[in-house]
């Protein structure tokens, strides 16, 4: 990463950074699963956390008058991601149907630089899935599932002299899947 300027494109120039430090990622994972054979009940939980020290990101200097952008890689801290996944399921024996529910969430925060001002992009997406399964004779399985997720994201500037919230948004997602799997029967006449 020599501090040489790449001048192939006047409007988008890239400069190396010999002062970059190595980036280190610390990941933590904790999971649990259990199955009660007698009650036909299972559960699963998983928590993951990832912290990045000296993350390498780009500082983009944008000149509004000329339209030129100069990009240089730099080290930053503050990047984190966390996820939680969970499933719980059991069987309704009277109607011979399985029921599963799975709450989850994800949290992601990443630092970036624009005109040498540190900004953060943060996403939070909680969700839940519900799944039903009915098994019939001769290997026929009917499955239905519903999952709902909501993503909230915002960007903020890390500066004493600037407004904190720059962008806010929401994305809502929902899925409904119904599958039927069974034996394939063909009638051939010759």
pLDDT means over runs of 10, the chain (190 residues): 70 90 95 92 95 93 90 92 93 84 88 86 81 68 57 50 41 50 45
Q: Is 111 part of any domain?
A: yes
pLDDT at 163: 38
pLDDT for 158 equals 45
Q: Identify which of 131, 129, 168, 166 has the alpha carbon closest to the alpha carbon of residue 151.
A: 168
Beta strands in 18-139 (DSSP E): 24-36, 41-53, 55-62, 69-76, 79-92, 97-114, 117-136
CA 52 to chain centre: 16
What per-residue confidence (pLDDT) applies to 3?
65
pTM of the model: 0.68
Nearest of 106, 68, 85 to residue 30 by alpha carbon: 85
Residue 187 belongs to some domain of the structure = no
Q: What is the pLDDT of residue 150?
A: 58
Residue 65 included in any domain: no
Instruction: State the residue range of the domain holding 159.
Output: 32-51+77-181
Q: Which two tokens stand for residue 71?
A: 């990009």
Q: What is the pLDDT of residue 184?
A: 40
pLDDT (0 to 100) of residue 7: 72
- 41: DSSP letter: E
Which backbone phi and psi does 127 adopt, to 5 degrees? -160, 165
Q: How many domains does the chain have?
A: 1
Does 2 reside within a domain?
no
**Cα separations (Å) of 117 from 7, 48, 61, 120, 187?**
24, 30, 10, 10, 70
Residue 12 lies in a domain: no
């Amino acid at each position: 990463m020599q501090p040489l300027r790449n001048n192939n494109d006047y409007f988008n120039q890239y400069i190396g950074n010999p002062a970059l430090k190595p980036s280190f990622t610390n990941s933590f994972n904790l999971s649990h699963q259990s199955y009660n054979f007698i009650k036909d009940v299972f559960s699963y939980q998983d928590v993951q956390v990832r912290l990045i020290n000296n993350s390498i990101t780009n500082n983009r200097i944008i000149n509004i008058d000329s339209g030129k952008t100069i990009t240089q890689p730099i080290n930053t801290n503050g990047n984190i991601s966390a996820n939680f996944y969970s499933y719980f399921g059991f069987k309704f024996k009277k109607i011979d149907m399985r029921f599963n529910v799975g709450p989850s969430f994800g949290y992601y925060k990443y630092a970036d630089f624009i005109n040498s001002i540190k900004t953060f992009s943060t996403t939070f997406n909680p969700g839940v899935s519900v799944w039903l399964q009915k098994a019939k004779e001769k290997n026929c399985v009917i499955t239905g599932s519903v999952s709902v997720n909501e993503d909230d994201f915002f960007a903020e500037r890390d500066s004493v002299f600037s407004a904190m919230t720059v962008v806010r948004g929401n994305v809502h997602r929902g899925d409904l899947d119904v599958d039927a799997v069974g034996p394939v029967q063909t009638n051939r006449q010759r």
